[in-house]
Structure 1
Amino acid sequence: MNAPQTAVHEREQLYRDMDPHNLKPLWEVLHALVPPQPASPCVPALWTYERVRPFLKRAGEVISAEEAVRRVLILENPGLRGQSAITQSLYAGLQLILPGEVAPSHRHTQGALRFVVEGQGAYTAVNGERTTMHPGDFIITPSWTFHDHGNPSDQPMVWLDGLDIPILRFFDAGFAENGSARSQQVTQAEGSSFARFGHNMAPVRPVAPFGKTSPIFSYPYDRSREALDRLERDAPIDEWDGVKLRYTNPLTGGWPMPTIAAFMQKLPAGFRGKGWRQTDGAIYSVVEGRAAVHIESPAGGSTRYEVTPRDHFVIPSWHAARLESEAGCVLFSFSDRPVQDALGILKEERLP
């Protein structure tokens, strides 16, 4: 056996001998652990509402909201099948609640957002306050707060759930508890949190009721849409984003949730956006209008989606993307940007 073959044999024997001791050679995996650029297993994906809604309807026929606890169809990334995740850090699903149903009260350490997709008149209750849900509303369920949902209206309600389940799973920090009652007792008038914190004012001696999460738990769409329309008329249009705003915590000016950022943007009619890429993969819900989404993978390969209202899509980390819209479009999106920002690892590029 010559010298190179001997070295290879000795190296392989070393690996076999140390494996029972739970030891692995870094040099065999270093390039995968510390890659030259993000190499996400996530892939771009689109869930058209036209295809998803029939399955939601069937789910409503075979299981009640109370039986299911939450009747939700998970939007599972094709690159992460079996992991109940849309990106490596975030979960997304579409929840259905039918007329007369109640999704029972519980709480969990995972933070959640609700973005209303279809219907109006149902409610979500958080910490003793209810809010009536309307399409385009952004609603927060803070970590470890009791919450339940009910639908006294005569039409089905569907909303997008976004949670930080994979983040808490990574930290082994997930806890949950069922409420003692089917619906929690209402102790505050509807709109109380918005009255205290939603008008560029705050109580003289404010106490953050939900820790680092916004004290406002319902952000009405009509207010968001008004701001976008005004900026579209009176301010310069960003060449990458159109008109894009982020939701904020009024007590801090920071993110509305410690783990999840949320955004609303409007693409004016005739918009031809420039490309960008960022390390926070983002989940989008189409609110109004139509758009074309162009996505390019770091490894090569491109994807183009034509999206319409109530469609959902994901742009994974470090995938170059750009948006176009002939007639105009409004998009809601969320990502794990607060976590990356806090850790100092967020990276983004605006492409020429």
Structure 2
Amino acid sequence: MNELGKLEDLPLEYREALTERNLVPLWPSMRSVLPPNVPTRDTSVLNWDYESLRPLLMRAGELTPMEKAERRVLILANPGHGLDNIQATPSIYLGMQLILPGETAPNHRHTPNAVRVIVEGEGAFTTVDGEPCKMERGDLILTPSGKWHEHHHEGDGPIVWLDVLDLPLIYRLNSSWAMEGELQQTDATRDKSYADYSAAGVVPNINLKRGKTDTPMLRYPWSKTRACLVEMAADHREGLLSISYVNPENGTSLFPSIGFGALMLRPGETVTLPKRTTPAIFHVIEGAGQMQVEGHPSSNGEPLAFVEKDTLAAPGYSHITLRNASVTEPAFIMTADEAPLHQYLGIF
């Protein structure tokens, strides 16, 4: 591929004339925005290990009361995108959120879609548009775009969860905003949407909402997901054990921007995931092992160790290999990626 002309090759008076008219020549930067064969992959291979993160999060609880924080969160920023850009991948934001016993994170709603993956603690619940959703380890709880939500903690110890939002995407579309509201009056004492949709393959006719785009099920308990993966393992002695979280009414992804899933590694198993365009996030629910990413300079091909509650990032267009360190126990990992967005854009 031939080398193109540089900006400094152009006469100064010509460059100044372009600048005065808000014009920029393409050819000096074309190779950077349209690189040959493989795109720019800014997402660095990284592990936000929970053991070192947790003390800093607890310290935040001592330093900043809820009324001064509204949401007490440490952002998991990927250095490949710059620490000021609130990005774990190009369009996914991650944050570890802490609520202490007796606290309430106030009611608000916003344009970005959000998912909460519970990391530790008991006795808390999220209220979404009047529906309380219990929060237990590994549960996936949705607060789709525009839905009112608040978080309450009535337990004894701290509760921590992983926030996963499409905030970088919505922010760069100049469409990110939030609105505060009064505390909600809950209309039920149970997770109504989970009760209605928890049976696989069964959809109650009374709840069908034609034309509705977001999923009607707000809480996906980890106990159900784990049991599904274990049952799959009993029937499949080899091959990747993975599931996707979907809208129970139509089978589409939970959000049009982020896809969520979970996978199980059999005892001692090593799995190389299908090579894909999208970066990936991995949150370790149970177990320990290693992630190895080939073909990206941030990893040098070296394996990255992980344990329970760690959160990892890997770039797209790379070979990702996961290994279960235990030869007696399975490992369980929750995943998030940009696959729905890539599929919609026709680049997946």
TM over 0.5: yes
User: Matches of residues 7-26 of structure 1 in structure 2 within 5 Å?
Assistant: 11=11, 13-26=13-26
Q: CA deviation at 1:203?
A: 3.1
Please tell me whether the aligned partners of residues 286 and 308 of structure 1 are also in contact (alpha carbons under 8 angstroms). Answer: yes
Q: Give the Cα separation in 2 of the matches to 1:152 and 1:209.
A: 37
The answer for the alignment partner of 1:129 in structure 2 is 131
User: Matches of residues 39-54 of structure 1 in structure 2 within 5 Å?
Assistant: 39-54=40-55
The answer for the alignment partner of 2:29 in structure 1 is 29
Q: Give the Cα separation in 2 of the matches to 1:189 and 1:86.
A: 35
Q: CA deviation at 1:299?
A: 5.1
| Matched AA of 1:251 | E
CA deviation profile, 1:267-310 (whole Å, cap 9, x unmatched): 00111223543221111110001111001244583242110000
Q: Give the Cα separation in 1 of the matches to 2:39 and 2:209.
A: 36
Q: Give the Cα separation in 2 of the matches to 1:326 and 1:46.
A: 16
Moved more, 51-60 or 17-26: 17-26
CA deviation profile, 1:64-99 (whole Å, cap 9, x unmatched): 223201000000001221011111111000000011
| Matched AA of 2:194 | F
Q: So what's the TM-score if we normalise by structure 1?
A: 0.90
| Matched AA of 1:57 | M
Which sections of structure 2, spanning at least 5 residues, go unmatched?
1-7
| Matched AA of 1:193 | S
Q: CA deviation at 1:9?
A: 6.0
The answer for the alignment partner of 1:279 in structure 2 is 277
The answer for the alignment partner of 1:264 in structure 2 is 262
User: Matches of residues 1-352 of structure 1 in structure 2 within 5 Å?
Assistant: 11=11, 13-36=13-36, 37-79=38-80, 80-179=82-181, 181=182, 183-199=183-199, 200-204=201-205, 206-208=207-209, 211-238=212-239, 242-274=240-272, 276-298=274-296, 301-327=300-326, 328-346=330-348
Q: Give the Cα separation in 1 of the matches to 2:269 and 2:283.
A: 18
| Matched AA of 2:25 | P
Q: CA deviation at 1:329?
A: 1.1
| Matched AA of 1:290 | A
User: In the comparison of the two structures, how many residue pairs are matched?
Assistant: 334
Please tell me whether the aligned partners of residues 42 and 77 of structure 1 are also in contact (alpha carbons under 8 angstroms). Answer: yes
Which sections of structure 1, spanning at least 5 residues, go unmatched?
1-7, 347-352
Q: Give the Cα separation in 2 of the matches to 1:161 and 1:202.
A: 28
Please tell me whether the aligned partners of residues 56 and 73 of structure 1 are also in contact (alpha carbons under 8 angstroms). Answer: yes
| Matched AA of 2:259 | A
Q: Give the Cα separation in 1 of the matches to 2:132 and 2:210.
A: 16
Please tell me whether the aligned partners of residues 107 and 176 of structure 1 are also in contact (alpha carbons under 8 angstroms). Answer: yes
CA deviation profile, 1:317-339 (whole Å, cap 9, x unmatched): 22321111131311001112111
Please tell me whether the aligned partners of residues 276 and 322 of structure 1 are also in contact (alpha carbons under 8 angstroms). Answer: no
Please tell me whether the aligned partners of residues 43 and 279 of structure 2 are also in contact (alpha carbons under 8 angstroms). Answer: no
Q: Give the Cα separation in 2 of the matches to 1:9 and 1:63.
A: 53
Change (3 A) 1:229 1:259: same
| Matched AA of 1:68 | A
